[in-house]
Chains A and B, each alone.
Chain A
């Protein structure tokens, strides 16, 4: 399309991203990189598989867990608070961590995943929903936002062979 790059050159580069993780924190890298690449004129394809697939659900309900993530240190009163793994065992701790992260992101002007996903669709990012994962977790296209097409590994590989950048997140 003319003017696709905001007046720049025609799109010549392309990028693909395999999206495999669906927690609140891990949902960010693929959507940030995808939307930014599209804004910079790249053709972008995102392949949603396993726990990344629910990022296409109409109702996003993203959760966060400090479990298995010793690097997660939340700013608190000028310090950084680490959460020991065992804290995740206590009911309500994961939910509290999720609320804390959502509030922090709002305060720091970080876009929500729902917003970034809307921007991704608006910028014509191609989305492929993994058919096998749909069967496995019993989802149908009716559960998903408009836009994704169904496909499998071969569909992704075909895109990847033609892409300048291929990421697995």
Chain B
């Protein structure tokens, strides 16, 4: 289980990324954040976000029309 869950369902670009960044900042280093989104663009965007910021994308899965990501605050 992730330390925290962010429900970004129904939000469109760039809100899932902006909210995730905010939630990550509130976590201690090594903390994990689960994100639920319905924006299909989020799949590629969270990969790019993690590559650029150095945070770890631990999981990226799809269930129905909901995309689930688990990010680890690393640095």
Residues of chain A at the chain B interface (Cβ within 8 Å) = 3, 5-9, 32, 35-36, 39-41, 108-111, 119
Contacts and interface: CB of A to CB of B under 8 A. Distances in A.
Contacts of A40: 17, 21, 48-49, 52-53
Contacts of A5: 53-55, 75
Interface residues of B, number: 24
Which of A32, A35, A39, A110 neighbours the largest number of chain B CB atoms within 10 Å of its CB?
A39
Contacts of A3: 25
B18 A7 contact: no
B47 to A, nearest CB: 12
A9 B75 contact: yes
Interface of B: 10-15, 17-18, 20-21, 24-25, 27, 29, 39, 48-49, 52-55, 73-75
Contacts of B24: 6-7
Given A5-B53, A6-B21, A6-B53, A35 B14 contact: yes
Given A40-B49, A40-B53, A6 B73 contact: yes
Contacts, number: 64
A13 to B, nearest CB: 8
A163 to B, nearest CB: 16
A119 B11 contact: no
Contacts of B11: 109, 111
A41 B50 CA distance: 11
Contacts of B49: 39-40
Contacts of B29: 7
